[in-house]
Homo-oligomer: A and B are copies of this chain.
């Protein structure tokens, strides 16, 4: 399948070994960002993927570009220009101490991109799917306009469109999010959300659930899924459900609602290596299943297994093959050495 994702890729700088910034003399430099993460995972599953963004003409922009190339993603629609590369600083938490993200992405190349500066008709020509998240429109009013351009154009050109709501409170207010995302979801076929997004963005509440306590009500979220599908006029709604026992241990599951039936996944207990990008890897897994025309339960199970695996891998990217996901999905979660 030919899949396009549009958004920002940032340099990610993180101290090693659960250090705080105050202790670090050395930072791990990798790259990541919602839509780029989805692109990498889909490329690993064997798809033809294009990542669309804007990168500055400097050594950091070059490095970001090479990272995308490395994973086999097409970069032909990436623009070069603007003044800086977005950065995010990540302090890995542990146990009862949360991970801490410090964004330094204002004024990034993509944030400053002008509406109308991407030739969507060319970009979407011959493509099957567009994926976007709620992060891109949150970057700037320019990016909100570009995101709206993209989804509308993609939909009209016959692509399937998926969107992960991905609310980021450090980027915009709930009011701003609701205003923009309400327009954006009009063009979206598949809505993906985590257990908080529906409430944050659209005020749709999960009853009987206390997120900070780590307990989630599957039933409550089924009701959220139904409300969300109605609100967005979408075909499909998927909700990932994270029970955060601590920064080190989470339970991970999801549900999928297709208008007729709510499908529930099994729940994976995960000892976390890196939870950033978990939701993105779910999106990639779901898109993989849908483009393969798998049955709904299989789509969901694959997406949950893929995203459970992601959280055992350093960095934003889910560097796993379809075969590895299928193995986990088939029940092999014992971690035995393969030799």
Contacts and interface: CB of A to CB of B under 8 A. Distances in A.
Interface in A257-273: 268-273
Contacts of A333: 96, 246
Query: Can you tell how many copies of this chain the complex includes?
Result: 6
Contacts of A332: 98, 212
B313 A212 contact: no
Nearest to A327: B98
Interface stretch (A15-23, A116-124, A152-160, A295-303): A15-23
Interface stretch (A63-71, A179-187, A233-241, A286-294): A63-71
Given A59-B89, A249-B271, A334 B213 contact: yes
B337 A97 contact: no
Contact of A69 (B72, B91, B271): B72
Interface residues of A, number: 88
Interface in A65-117: 66-67, 69-72, 83-85, 87, 89, 91, 93-104, 106-107
Contacts of A93: 312, 335, 337
Contact of A84 (B83, B99, B106): B106
Interface string A1-15: 000000000000100
A26 B27 contact: yes
Q: Which one of A21, A67, A103, A268 has the highest number of Cβ atoms from chain B below 10 Å of its Cβ?
A: A21
A307 to B, nearest CB: 11
A318 to B, nearest CB: 11
Chain A to chain B: the 6 pairs with minimum beta-carbon distance, closest first: A247-B335, A101-B339, A70-B70, A244-B334, A96-B333, A95-B271
Given A24-B29, A87-B104, A98-B338, 15 more contacts: A16-B17, A21-B63, A22-B319, A23-B314, A25-B28, A26-B26, A66-B72, A84-B106, A93-B335, A97-B328, A98-B337, A101-B339, A107-B107, A211-B334, A246-B269
27 contacts: A13-B27, A18-B312, A18-B313, A20-B319, A21-B59, A21-B63, A25-B28, A25-B29, A26-B26, A26-B27, A26-B28, A27-B29, A59-B100, A59-B102, A60-B104, A66-B72, A69-B70, A96-B309, A97-B313, A98-B335, A100-B338, A103-B339, A107-B107, A212-B332, A214-B334, A245-B334, A247-B334
Interface of A: 13, 16-30, 58-60, 62-63, 66-67, 69-72, 83-85, 87, 89, 91, 93-104, 106-107, 168-170, 211-214, 244-249, 268-273, 275-276, 308-309, 311-315, 319-320, 324, 328, 331-339
